[in-house]
């Protein structure tokens, strides 16, 4: 006899659900521990069983993770869906997505500045004379000091601020 089985529904064991969703068994157990998903029932011997609703929820969780949502944000959406709070789900998802877009724009700016710094130091490296650099009187290594010392390409206030703070 299966605990929690819904009438006429085919229930799947955790390994089958893992293959179907592309999530590992370990991840499925982690989501269960975090309260994001739970099996629809168990066999008499204690094996977890999942129905269509649980599989659908797990597929949503996977998609939401790909969108950059945190497990806490996903838990909130799953909770709203479980409570049939239709009027709240879409605005909440929209808010989460807007936040992720803002974070992404910020990260893209940071990555662009980082790329400029890498290009700048690569150019300095190409222009450096190994003979002169190695002869520099430094506390560490003349070649590395000559190539990486000084302000970055952008010469940004952020880079200077980090240097002063560090």
- pLDDT tens-digit profile of 117-137? 999 989 888 887 777 767 667
Q: Regarding predicted confidence, which is higher, 156 or 49?
A: 49
Count structural domains, the chain.
Answer: 2
- The DSSP letter of residue 3 is B
73 and 120 in a single domain? The answer is no
Q: Give the torsion through C-alpha atoms of 59, 60, 63, 64, to 10 deg.
A: -150
Q: Which of 44, 63, 84 is the last residue of a domain?
A: 84
- What integer pLDDT is reported at residue 163 of this predicted model? 44
Other C-beta atoms lying within 10 Å of the C-beta of residue 112: 11
- Find the CATH number of the domain harbouring 76: 1.10.1660.10
62 and 121 in a single domain? The answer is no
Q: Domain range holding 150?
A: 115-165
Question: Does residue 145 form part of some domain?
Answer: yes
Check pLDDT > 60 for residue 41.
yes
């Amino acid at each position: 006899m299966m605990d929690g089985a819904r009438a006429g529904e085919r229930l799947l064991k955790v390994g089958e659900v893992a293959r179907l969703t592309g999530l590992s068994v370990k991840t499925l157990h982690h989501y269960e521990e975090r309260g994001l998903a739970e099996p629809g029932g168990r066999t008499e011997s204690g094996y977890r069983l999942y129905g269509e609703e649980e599989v659908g929820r797990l597929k949503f969780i996977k998609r939401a993770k790909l969108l950059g949502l945190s497990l806490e944000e996903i838990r909130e959406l799953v909770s709203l869906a479980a409570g049939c709070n239709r009027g709240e789900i879409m605005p909440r998802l929209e808010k989460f997505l807007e936040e992720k877009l803002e974070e992404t724009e910020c990260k893209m700016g940071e990555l662009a500045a980082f790329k400029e710094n890498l290009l700048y130091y690569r150019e300095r490296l190409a222009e450096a004379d190994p003979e002169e650099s190695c002869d520099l009187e430094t506390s560490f290594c003349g070649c590395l000091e000559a190539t990486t010392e000084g302000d970055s390409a952008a010469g940004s206030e952020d880079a200077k601020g980090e240097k002063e703070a560090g």
